[in-house]
A and B are shown apart, each in its own frame.
Chain A
Amino acid sequence: MVLSVSKYFALAKADFFEKLNYFGTQVFSSFFICLVIFIFFNIWTAIYAGKGIIEGFTIAQMLWYLGVAELIVMSSQLRWIETISEEVRTGIVASMLLKPINYVFSKLVLHMSNFLYGFFTSGFFVIFVVYYLAGPIDVLPRAVVFSFISIIFGTLLNFVILACLGFIAFWIEDSHAIFWIYQKGLFILGGMLIPLDVYPEWIKGAIINLPFSFIIYNPAKLFIQFNFLEFLRVLFWQLGYIALFSVILFVIYQIGIRRLQINGG
């Protein structure tokens, strides 16, 4: 069976062991996140001078939000757009068709395992640094659990969008520009640099329900200001977007593969 779980688990396990060869690199990138958080700490300390709360966030909540948002982005393997398009261009996709395995599914599993690996290794450093700089905030255990679920669904959504963009390589040769635009879109519209609440109301209204915010802003905000109804609302939007982009992905992939099978690599 092409969709048997054990083969994808074996792939993810092997990929995890392969990643362990570069554990030092992962630790180094974790230091980079800590540096970014330190810069945010200084900027927001200046912004918060004399103010207790900005748009519903205390400075500690703001830093914890930015820590989680940064962690999501750094673990998200945005370069997958380029990886997938490279595999389309070099014909690796075609050679994967020779194996009894689903290419998109295998990429999804690897994407998730890479995300979890990055999230947990860097997470350790992020918690340490944010705790040291901002101190503790009141977080309910269920907030941790449900925001993590939300982060996972956000990552799934990120994957289907990345895969859609990566498979455009069936038609265009270089996906670098697409990667660049998507990355910047995610940083600005997804709430990695500042929470969307800080934007002027009309901008916030325009971008709050875009898919970007369900990858970073909403899951990260659930961590610091948990509300079960809000969790359900976010999950509803995430599932809706995942379904929508999965349909688009399915269509792009089928047309692309057919094109490959008709016109060669």
Chain B
Amino acid sequence: MIPVIIVEGLTKIFKVKSKSVGFFGKLKSIVWPKYSDVIAVNDVSFEIKEGEIVGFIGPNGAGKSTTLKMLTGILFPTKGVIDVLGFNPHKQRTKLAFKIGTIFGQRQQLLYHLPPIDSFNVFSKIYEINSAEYKERLSNLVKLFNLEKYLNTPVRKLSLGERMRCEFVASVLHKPQVLFLDEPTIGLDIIAKKKVREFIKKLNEAEKTTIILTSHDLDDIEELCNRVIVINEGKILYDGSLDKIKKKLKYKILDVYFHEQIKDIPKIPNAKILEQETFRIKLQVNRSKISVIELLDKYFKNYKIDDIIIEDPPIEEVIEQWY
């Protein structure tokens, strides 16, 4: 598949004013300000192919949003090459704007006091979508998002979830080839998050839209992304499938449900008890030292077992290993 985004040796260094302490220090920093360099993104390279959903994950200040801003053209890189859909984002930002869509979870683009339909009409003009195409596109998106009954309700009266779905529609009206999503599910409840994720999936499947996503909600990443880029202190720590990260895991979570009351659980080396109830025990097993089968055979063979659940640890813990 064709790469739609090519990034080579991307570096972003911010100059940050160092603040001095005390009155004279402050006075001195006004007259002779001192700046220090903060490396937000450090020699990052990757390619993203058409139709991929890529998750950018990392702690706060890792460089995710800065990378996204450079890809969209609103930040100049200090060094490196960026090619998005054949455009150099910071030199051809306006041309690129017609081809990409963006959602910044904490920023609203809809007109607050008007119904979403009015905002959609404005966006259709801003993106210069022809009238017939716009009508057809809007009707499809409204169906996809179940927005029929909210179209004429003022945005201020919509719930956060309904508003977010409208934000999505506004961002994809012009059929962007690449969609940048910065924390798209922030502040949403579980049901709204689920709907947003469903929409992202549908959009990706139906239109082969390439989606780049940053999120602190790792469920977003697990459910949507076939590829993750783990970034910390401006450097890429991992670029590949989520499964591969999981395979590198040292631990498995073992949840065992017994038919009878459990007593006298022996001390199990290489396994940590996470939860214990009368008929259940939940363990974290270091599988590099002991296999699950071996553990069950060695320590629980005298118990009648009803059910066993083997899980990967939460993705948060997986990522923690990288940091």
Chain A positions near chain B (C-beta within 8 angstroms): 1-2, 4, 6-7, 9-11, 14-15, 17-18, 21-22, 91-92, 94-95, 97-101, 258, 260-264
Q: Whole-angstrom distance from the CB of B5 to the nearest CB of chain A?
A: 16
- In the complex, the answer to whether A18 meets B114 with C-beta atoms within 8 Å is yes
Complex interface: chain B residues within 8 A of A101 (CB): 126
- A7-B128, A9-B125, A18-B114 known; 12 new pairs, CB 8 Å cut-off, are A14-B121, A18-B111, A18-B112, A21-B114, A94-B69, A95-B74, A95-B102, A95-B104, A97-B74, A98-B74, A98-B102, A99-B126
A6 surroundings in chain B (CB, below 8 A): 125
The residue in chain A whose Cβ has the minimal distance to the Cβ of B121 is A10
- In the A-B complex, the 4 residue pairs with the smallest Cβ-Cβ separation, listed nearest first, are A10-B125, A100-B97, A7-B125, A261-B76
Indicate if the CB atoms of B76 and A100 lie closer than 8 Å. no
Among residues of A, the one whose C-beta sits closest to the C-beta of B97 is A100
Q: Closest residue of chain B to A6, judged by CB?
A: B125
Complex interface residues of chain B between 106 and 134 (CB less than 8 A to chain A): 107, 109, 111-114, 118-119, 121-122, 125-128
List residues 31-83 of chain B with CB under 8 A from any CB of chain A.
40, 66, 69, 72-76
Check B272 for interface membership: any CB of A closer than 8 A: no
Determine chain A's interface SS by DSSP, over half rule. helix
For residue B289, CB closer than 8 A to chain A, the reply is: no
Indicate if B98 sits at the interface (CB-CB under 8 A).
yes
Supply 7 A–B pairs (Cβ within 8 Å), ascending by A: A7-B126, A14-B111, A14-B122, A21-B114, A22-B113, A95-B107, A261-B90
Bin the interface of chain B by size.
20 to 34
| B139 in contact (CB, < 8 A) | no
A94 with B126: CB separation less than 8 A: no
- CB pair B97–A263 under 8 Å, yes or no, is no
Which residue of A91, A94, A264 contacts B14 across the interface (Cβ within 8 Å)?
Answer: A264
Q: Which residues of A contact B69 (CB under 8 A)?
A: 94, 264
How many whole Å from A185's CB to the nearest CB in chain B? 26
Does B276 have its Cβ within 8 Å of any Cβ on chain A? no
Residues of B at the A interface (CB closer than 8 Å) are 14-15, 40, 66, 69, 72-76, 90, 93-94, 97-98, 100, 102, 104, 107, 109, 111-114, 118-119, 121-122, 125-128, 154
Taking the nearest CB of chain B, how far is it from the CB of A251, in angstroms? 18
Which A residues are CB-close (under 8 A) to B154? 21
Bound complex: CA A147 to CA B111 (Å)? 34
Residues of A close to B114: CB separation below 8 A: 14, 17-18, 21
Is A11 in contact with B128, judged by CB distance below 8 angstroms? no
> A10 and B126 in contact (CB under 8 A), knowing A17-B118, A261-B74?
yes
Which among B14, B122, B128 has the highest number of chain A CB atoms within 10 Å? Answer: B122
Alpha-carbon distance A219/B318, docked complex (angstroms): 69
State the CA gap A98–B70 with chains docked (Å).
11
Question: Do residues B75 and A261 form an inter-chain contact, with CB atoms below 8 A?
Answer: yes
Interchain CA distance A13-B19 in the complex, whole Å? 46
Cα distance, A22 to B114, chains bound together (Å):
12
Q: Which one, A1, A97, A262, A263, contacts B128 given CB within 8 A?
A: A1
Cβ contacts under 8 Å, A100 to chain B = 94, 97-98, 126-128
Closest-by-CB residue of A relative to B70 is A261
With most chain A CB atoms within 10 A of its CB, the pick from B69, B72, B102 is: B69
Contact A97 B14 (CB under 8 A): no
Per the bound structure, the CA–CA distance linking A92 and B107 in Å amounts to 8
What residue in chain B is nearest A20 (Cβ atoms)?
A: B113
- Minimum Cβ distance to chain A for residue B246 (Å): 34
- Residues in B neighbouring A15, C-beta threshold 8 A: 111
Least Cβ–Cβ distance between B282 and chain A, in angstroms: 44
**B128 CB contacts on chain A under 8 angstroms:** 1, 4, 7, 100
List the A side residues contacting B107 at CB < 8 Å: 91-92, 95
**Residues of chain B within 8 A of A9, CB atoms compared:** 125
Contact A11 B122 (CB under 8 A): yes
Instruction: Say yes or no: A18-B113 contact (C-beta < 8 A), given A100-B98, A263-B14.
Output: yes
Contact yes or no, B94 A2, CB < 8 A: yes
Task: Decide if A264 touches B66 in the complex (CB within 8 Å).
Answer: yes
Complex Cα gap A100–B94 (Å): 5
A1 CA / B128 CA spacing, docked (Å): 8
* Cα(A99)–Cα(B125), bound, Å: 11
In Å, the complex CA distance between A2 and B92 comes to 13
Nearest CB in chain B: distance from A34 CB, A: 26
Q: Which of A14, A99, A100, A258 has the most B CB atoms < 10 Å from its CB? A: A100
Shortest distance from the beta carbon of B18 to any chain A beta carbon, whole Å: 14
**Residue pair A264, B97 in contact (C-beta under 8 Å):** no
Query: How far in angstroms is the closest Cβ of chain B from A143?
Result: 37
Cβ–Cβ < 8 Å partners of B73 in chain A? 97-98
Chain B residue at smallest Cβ distance from A15: B111
Instruction: List chain A residues, Cβ under 8 A from B75.
Output: 261-262, 264
Residues of B within 8 A of A11 (CB): 122, 125-126
Q: Return the contact of B97 from the options A1, A17, A99 (Cβ within 8 A).
A: A99
Q: Which residues of chain A come closer than 8 Å to B40, judged between CB atoms? A: 264
A14-B98 CB under 8 A given contacts A98-B74, A263-B14: no
- Known A97-B73, A262-B76; contact A14-B126, beta-carbon cutoff 8 A: no
Q: In the complex, A99→B76 CA distance in Å?
A: 17
Question: Nearest chain A CB to B52's CB is how many angstroms away?
Answer: 21
> Complex formed: what's the CA distance from A71 to B111 in Å?
28
Residue of B nearest to A19 (CB): B113
Closest residue of chain B to A95 (Cβ to Cβ) is B107
